[in-house]
Amino acid sequence: MQTLIAGLVLFIGAHAVRLVSETTRDRLVARLGPLAYKGLVSLVSLVGLVLVVKGYGMARADPVALWSPWSGGRHIAALFSLVAFVLVVAAYVPRNTLRVRLGHPMVLGIKIWALGHLIANHTLADLVLFGSLLVWAVLSFRAARRRDARAREQILHTESDGRGQDRAVVAPSRLADLAVIVIGLALYGAFAFHLHASLIGVRPFG
């Protein structure tokens, strides 16, 4: 369990600097430079992810059951994971409807994925892993939406002062939407039917 917790601290901590203190994050970016800061975050996240996978596997070998699992939980987790994969892909494909409308589809995808797995599982390790990620994703999504609202207010204030410039409106693309769905389904299928068993030790289907 210690390995799992250490991994979560590193992984979530690397992504929560801005959530805890945006000023601290800005100072780090200014001191290290944008590329070096992103590289540091990626490195810490990768180490944390490796520890999470290893620690979760160790915890599953000696599980501590907290409640009786719900028979339909696996189906909920599978459905939520499918939606989550599509949302995560949407974060990387420009001009798709989900990215334009939601703004932060990756964090929303993590939130849905964590909730589905929290419903489906019943051990202490599951509660620690998926509960922690769910709380982080909820707080991160709310903070991101607040930043978006402040940015819109700043734009409106600038325009009211007559200092604004014409901005091109980003319109969703049907081709981008199709790409998000196809890639999301393909990645979901590869992970659910192949990688999940080898990485996690559990076959979601069968």
Domain residue limits, the chain: 1-62, 65-206
Q: For residue 46, what are the contacts with CB-CB under 8 A and spacing of at least 6?
A: none
For residue 201, which of 81, 67, 84, 56 has the smallest C-alpha distance?
Answer: 56
Residue 11 CA to residue 43 CA, distance in Å, equals 10
Q: Is 173 strand, coil or helix?
A: coil
Q: What is the pLDDT of residue 148?
A: 83
| Backbone torsions φ then ψ of 123, nearest 5 degrees | -105, 170
Q: What is the pLDDT of residue 206?
A: 64
Q: What is the pTM of this model?
A: 0.85
Helices (H), the chain: 2-15, 17-20, 22-32, 34-61, 73-90, 97-102, 105-120, 124-160, 174-190, 196-200
Residue 188 CA to residue 174 CA, distance in Å, equals 21
Residue numbers of the chain with a pLDDT score lower than 70: 157, 159-169, 206
Mean pLDDT of the chain: 90
